[in-house]
Structure 1
Amino acid sequence: MKGEADDIEHILKNTKTVALVGASANPDRDSHEVMLFLQSKGYRVIPVNPGLAGKQLNGETVYASLGDIPEKIDMVDIFRNSEAAGGISDEAIAIGAKYVWMQQGVVNEPAAARARAAGLRVVMDRCPKVEIRNRGL
């Protein structure tokens, strides 16, 4: 749909700092690969994973939650299941993020509605790596 396509384009061009929720130290996991890809494209990617909090991942300190990140986040990229995306979207609203991006297979309409009502742009069931490649960004 046109609105989401416009949102994707806007988000990818206007994001500088990404909080990647569900980051993994396992190089075989999609979240690890996407983090490296986004970093290679010039995005600052801050990993969020309570089990890895305080450790380093791809040159960045891992945080336990969005609220623990001491700097402004543009986009929250959610690598968790659809149910968990609700609380994460609420945290994104609370920290003043501009965008919520739910990865492929992650859809939570009520969470998206809350985020949009708070002024955030939302993308669901998409991967920024795929979108960047498809759009030649």
Structure 2
Amino acid sequence: MNHDSYPDYYIADILRSTRLIALVGASPNPERPSHRVMAFLLRKGYRVIPVNPGQAGKEILGQPVVARLADIVEPIDMVDVFRAADALPSVVEEVLALNPLPRVIWGQLSVRHDAAAARAEAAGIKVVMDRCPAIEYPRLVA
């Protein structure tokens, strides 16, 4: 996949078929982008499980926080990553240890790591990077 640009149908299909999102790097701070995007996704009807080891056992926007992806006991459709780009390889490794594998890894704005994306894609996972579902959803789905 060319990660410099994505066809609209590729993004729209992901957003329409996704139900459960694991949001890595979720923040309880309403001023943080991850908090605002999580609120948006919840308003649009997605189930969102916040992932943040420092907040595990608490709630963000009424959703119980888990420490890591492996703590989620149901199949994840999409892993939405709010971490620095250099953290994406470790997130991909955590994703690849899941069974079943999520269908999508989504790197938020400025989150791009081509080698990590290639590793995920080699396992059959779709990858979107340097995009925000809260921007793409109104443009392509709503």
TM-score bucket of the superposed structures, by smaller chain = over 0.9
What are the superposed Cα offsets for residues 7-44 of structure 1, whole Å, 9 maximum, x if unpaired?
21121011000000000000000000000000000000
Shift of 1:57: 1.1
Distance (whole Å) between structure 1 residues aligned to residue 83 and residue 118 of structure 2: 18
**Which blocks of at least 5 consecutive residues in structure 1 are unaligned?**
none
What is the TM-score with the length of structure 2 in the denominator?
A: 0.91
- The ranges of structure 1 where at least 4 consecutive aligned residues each deviate by more than 3 angstroms after the TM superposition are none
From the two aligned structures, give the one with the greater helix fraction: 1
Of the structure 1 ranges 66-75 and 30-39, higher mean CA displacement relative to structure 2 is found in: 66-75
Shift of 1:89: 1.6
Q: Percent identity?
A: 50
**Which blocks of at least 5 consecutive residues in structure 2 are unaligned?**
none
Shift of 1:106: 0.6
Aligned partner of 2:122: which letter?
A
Q: Say which SS state the counterpart of residue 23 (structure 2) adopts.
A: strand
- Residue-pair matches, total: 137
CA contact (8 A) 1:7 1:123 kept: no
Q: Say which SS state the counterpart of residue 4 (structure 1) adopts.
A: coil
Distance (whole Å) between structure 2 residues aligned to residue 82 and residue 90 of structure 1: 14
What is the TM-score with the length of structure 1 in the denominator?
A: 0.95
